[in-house]
Structure 1
């Protein structure tokens, strides 16, 4: 992670397709995962309005992630968990979807206007938007909730089942989005099993990941 390059200029983007890209990011030991995801978001999180979802398996993981990521000043952070009030859940989902709309409009805009004197509210709105979610609190497509449609999905804990991996993609990721799987040494077998069962290719994450957003 130390060799990661600074992000590309905010409003430059290569041509995009609807095909989702799958990568893995190897971590030597479990205790280094948190430090690594903070470094990763230190690169990705500086893109205005970039919609990111970090998916984890338990409430303990969610709480630990929120505690560490809340210190990043360029990210607007929210969480979806089991005892979140319905009204608050709706607000989190709506705010995130507004970020995805702004991100897509930004990519499709030929002319970019940069405000010289932005208010604090405008600066807050332009932060990258990140939602941390547990598997039990993913959007319920069957109940009428829409996919989060994030540009980046980070699997903080690698799912062991194809069904879980697929559900995270379906409920969290936009067409043409990027999946980054955090993999600890002993999970290589699980990664290969997911590739085979899901019929996908999971490549090593490139150093200049920000250039393919």
Structure 2
């Protein structure tokens, strides 16, 4: 009796070890149609599954906050261009830039679109909901790829200077188009958040962080004039966030 049992166990093990093969006809029987809402849910589950592989490498870190003061509001654009040129020499960074108005958003996009090695997109209130979600998800996917790809992979040599330059992924948004975390949308996890225009309320400042910034991300607040300096000070005091002066060498914080 014992011999028979051993033989049966061996046969079962051999059967389990045999490679299971599916052809197209048999595999297609396992598939079924799903609705758009279900497809979005499965996409989110897949996204979280991919993040799980990165958990062992995750180190706790807090976002760092800096302010960059300019003499006049019109100097913000020139300073922004200089920042992006320096950032391209460091690594392929995902960047979110906030504007408080559509006019300012259009002005920023008009200037940045002429810069090389920047993949630019914008999200504003006139967009249909489906298009808004599509653009945010596109940026979110780009952020995931950058987190799993060596920095040198996206580097290109500038033939004029001989230096390596990296592609930046940048999205310009207004507050009306933030990801709806309360409705199940995930953060887009940008490495750098630039407040081209400061929000007037601390709640908006914090919401920009939680919906768009990675846990170890960097916030750069551009301020011009006494009014914006006072607004920044109020945000600093009311939120408990320490906002330091941005170092002259940008590579120190990147």
Q: Output the TM-score relative to the length of structure 2.
A: 0.68
The superposition leaves residues 147-181 of structure 1 with CA deviations (integer Å, 9 ceiling, x where unpaired) of: 11100000001122110100110111010100000
The superposition leaves residues 61-113 of structure 1 with CA deviations (integer Å, 9 ceiling, x where unpaired) of: 11111111101111100001111233432332222112211222236x9xx66
The unaligned stretches of length 5 or more in structure 1 are: 1-14, 117-125
Q: Quote the residue 1:8 is aligned against.
A: none
1:196 is the counterpart of 2:237: yes
Deviation of 1:206 after TM superposition, in Å, equals 0.8
Q: Is the 8 A contact 2:143 2:190 kept in 1?
A: yes
Q: Quote the residue 2:68 is aligned against.
A: 25
Q: Is the 8 A contact 2:155 2:167 kept in 1?
A: no
Deviation of 1:39 after TM superposition, in Å, equals 1.1
Deviation of 1:207 after TM superposition, in Å, equals 1.8
Q: Quote the residue 1:37 is aligned against.
A: 80
Greater RCO (CA < 8 Å, at least 6 residues apart): 1
Q: Is the 8 A contact 2:154 2:167 kept in 1?
A: no
The superposition leaves residues 1-22 of structure 1 with CA deviations (integer Å, 9 ceiling, x where unpaired) of: xxxxxxxxxxxxxx97521000
Q: Is the 8 A contact 1:46 1:74 kept in 2?
A: no
Deviation of 1:48 after TM superposition, in Å, equals 4.5
Superposed, 1:153-164 pairs within 5 Å as 153-164=193-204
Q: Quote the residue 1:81 is aligned against.
A: 124
The unaligned stretches of length 5 or more in structure 2 are: 1-57, 157-165
> Hey, what's the Cα distance between the residues in 2 that align with 1:53 and 1:134?
10
> Hey, what's the Cα distance between the residues in 2 that align with 1:64 and 1:113?
31
Q: Output the TM-score relative to the length of structure 1.
A: 0.80
Deviation of 1:211 after TM superposition, in Å, equals 3.9
Superposed, 1:85-124 pairs within 5 Å as 85-106=128-149
Q: Is the 8 A contact 2:132 2:177 kept in 1?
A: no
RMSD, matched Cα: 2.3
> Hey, what's the Cα distance between the residues in 2 that align with 1:20 and 1:162?
16
> Of Structure 1 and Structure 2, which has the larger fraction of its residues in helix?
2
Once superposed, which parts of structure 1, at least 4 consecutive aligned residues long, lie more than 3 Å away?
A: 45-49, 112-116
Helix, strand or coil: the match of 2:81? helix
Deviation of 1:134 after TM superposition, in Å, equals 0.3
Helix, strand or coil: the match of 1:30? coil
